[in-house]
Structure 1
């Protein structure tokens, strides 16, 4: 399918836009190695994906707590303190210029997460970039998890655009795959993953960094 320049660009939140450093720090404060976050985050996604696959659902925070309980011996209170650190996230240094480039080009910017409500908004506010984002959406609103097709179609509907007029930018290959299967333009860049998973085929756009992904979307031919 030939892709054209999108009217709306949605961004994944955790890792893609917001740095998880505060959560790593909370793990260390709780007596765990910061490297545990990678395992726990992956298990959190597995928990949510599995629930969605069988027609069930759980909140991101509950999936994270379950994953942390599986991977550590932390008490419930300690686990809650680690989860609370998601409310302290801030944008990566490359986020503000990337979002500003899009808005100055007349492209609408939104966020699309399956994370807890308020996390994206707090992080954007902490980074001083709230004015660059039209709206923040979480699939908890519809009790679903990305990469379910319904999430991306719901987001396009909320933004009042056809799916092919929206793009999703993410540092996670599974998220880009889900967006493309729903008819959106998918843009993957290397941050949390070194390569795009070959089993998914090719993303519509891929770049070595966030700036490159945004530039590639803006370089797509107009409709």
Structure 2
């Protein structure tokens, strides 16, 4: 696929844009180890992916609750308190300048998550970057989880652009892999992951940080 400068850039939300530190802090408040979040978040994704692969579906919040119940002995009420903390997330410090650079260049910015509706919007509002994002999309609308190709194609359709004119930016390699398989371009940069796995389709763009991912997208030819 010949890469061209995207008209729309979709951003993954959890970890890519929003810092999960408040969720970790809430777990610590409930006498859980700080490193539990990594296990629970990974198991949440595993639960969602498994239901999708098996032909069923569950909400992100339900998958997160199930992962918590498997990993620790918190009560249902305390698990709900932890899940509610997703509405308290804030953007990483590098997010605002990256989004501003895209919008200044005339590129539309959206978010694309399989997380709970409202989480992205709350975090963007808290970070003061809502005006930089045209819309927030959750694949709960179509009862699907990334990295299913249908999610990325749905997002491109909602944004009224062909897939090749949309790019996904994510700190999760599996998400970029899904976008590439759907015909989008993709840019990966590290947060909790250290490298882009060789078992996935080669990322269209690999950068050292979020700013580098945005710069690489803007450097692509317009046609």
Please give the range of the TM-score, normalised by the shorter of the 2 chains: over 0.9
Matched, 1:6 2:6: yes
Matched, 1:161 2:151: no
The residue that corresponds to 2:26 in the other structure is 26
Q: Deviations over 1:14-61 (max 9, x none)?
A: 000000010000100111011000000000000000000111000000
Give me the whole-angstrom Cα distance separating, in 2, the residues matched to 1:205 and 1:49.
25
The residue that corresponds to 1:68 in the other structure is 68
Matched, 1:118 2:108: no
Give me the whole-angstrom Cα distance separating, in 1, the residues matched to 2:81 and 2:184.
36
TM-score by length of 1: 0.99
Give me the whole-angstrom Cα distance separating, in 2, the residues matched to 1:60 and 1:152.
17
1:201 shift after superposition: 3.4
Matched positions, count? 223
Question: Mind listing any 5+ residue stretches in structure 1 that lack a counterpart?
Answer: none
Question: Mind listing any 5+ residue stretches in structure 2 that lack a counterpart?
Answer: none
**CA RMSD, Structure 1 to Structure 2 (Å):** 0.5
* Structure 1 residue ranges (4+ consecutive) displaced by more than 6 angstroms after TM superposition: none
The residue that corresponds to 1:196 in the other structure is 196
The residue that corresponds to 1:187 in the other structure is 187
Matched, 1:55 2:55: yes
Aligned-partner SS, 2:10: strand
Give me the whole-angstrom Cα distance separating, in 1, the residues matched to 2:25 and 2:82.
9
TM-score by length of 2: 0.99
1:2 shift after superposition: 1.3
Contact 2:108 2:134 in 1 (8 A): yes
Contact 2:87 2:119 in 1 (8 A): yes
1:222 shift after superposition: 1.0
Aligned-partner SS, 2:93: coil
